[in-house]
Amino acid sequence: AQKITQTQPGMFVQEKEAVTLDCTYDTSDQSYGLFWYKQPSSGEMIFLIYQGSYDEQNATEGRYSLNFQKARKSANLVISASQLGDSAMYFCAMGPANYGQNFVFGPGTRLSVLP
Amino acid sequence: GAGVSQSPSNKVTEKGKDVELRCDPISGHTALYWYRQSLGQGLEFLIYFQGNSAPDKSGLPSDRFSAERTGGSVSTLTIQRTQQEDSAVYLCASSFSRGETQYFGPGTRLLVL
C-alpha cells in the first residue's frame, strides 16, 4: 500500500528565510507523481508543485522547489524567502500509478512564518 | 466555471437526516474525487470517479454514504441517516485524468447536531 509520512506536525520560520518541509513516501510502484498542496486557514486546497517519478530535474515553481531523492523516497518542499502569507498547512501527496489505487495524502505540516 | 464549485458551502442538519452535497468539476476534467477532512486532520479519501463510473469505492466509511456522477460532470455525495461523527468538511477535487494534479473546490462544511 502507498503511504505518505510528514514527520513535522508544526514548523516555524522567520520571514524572508528558507524552510524545508519533509515528506517521505512508500510505494512499490515505479511510476508515480508527487504533489504538494497548501491549505491556508480559509480551508481551500491550493496546488503548489508536482514531481514525476521519472523526472530527472527537481521541480521548481517560483519560490517553491521540490528536493526529490528517489532512492531515499523523499520529496521535501523547499520554500525560499518565506512570506507571512505562507503560513498554512502543507500536504504532501502521491498520485496513483496503477488502476484502483487511491490518491494518498500525508497528515500535513503546519507552517508558521514569524515577522 | 473556472474552478471546482461545491454547494452548499455550509450545511447544518439534525442527526438522522439525509444530506446531499454537490460538486461541479472543472469542465473537461474526467476524474473527480471526494475527500473528508475532520477538524485539524488530514484528508481522508472517500471515492473517485472516472467519467461516470466509480472504480474505487473503498474509502466510503459505511453504507450510509453513496455517490453518483452524471454526464461525466456533476457529482452528488449523499449521506443517509447522518451521525454526529459525520461532521467534517467534505472536499471535492477534479483532474484532467487520473493521477494528474487535482484542483479542489472550497468544500462543504457539514455539522450534524
**Is there a contact between B102 and A96 if contact means CB atoms under 8 Å apart?**
no
Among candidates B42, B48, B56 on the partner chain, residue whose Cβ is nearest the Cβ of A108: B42
Q: Closest by alpha carbon to A73, among A25, A22, A1?
A: A25
What pLDDT was estimated at residue A2? 79
pLDDT confidence of A13, banded at 50, 70, 90? very high
Q: How far apart are CA B88 and CA B74, in angstroms?
A: 21
Interface of B with A in 24-63 (CB under 8 A): 33, 35, 41-43, 45, 48, 55-56, 58-59
- Checking if the pLDDT of B68 tops 80, the result is yes
Query: A50 to chain B nearest CA, in Å?
Result: 8
Three-state DSSP state, A71:
coil
Residue-wise pLDDT tens digits, B12-62: 999 999 999 999 999 999 999 999 998 877 888 899 898 888 877 778 999
Contacts (Cβ under 8 Å, ≥6 apart) of A42: none
What pLDDT was estimated at residue B98? 75
**Is there a contact between A45 and B41 if contact means CB atoms under 8 Å apart?**
no
Q: How many interface pairs between A and B have CB atoms less than 8 angstroms apart?
A: 52
Residue-wise pLDDT tens digits, A55-109: 889 999 999 999 999 999 999 999 999 999 999 999 999 886 554 456 788 999 9
Report CA B110 to chain centroid distance, whole Å. 11
Residue-wise pLDDT tens digits, A14-27: 999 999 999 999 98
Q: Which of A53, A102, A109 to mutate to test the interface with B (most CBs of B within 10 A)?
A: A102
Q: How far apart are CA A102 and CA A112, in angstroms?
A: 30
What pLDDT was estimated at residue A100? 47
What pLDDT was estimated at residue A96? 64
pLDDT confidence of B106, banded at 50, 70, 90? very high
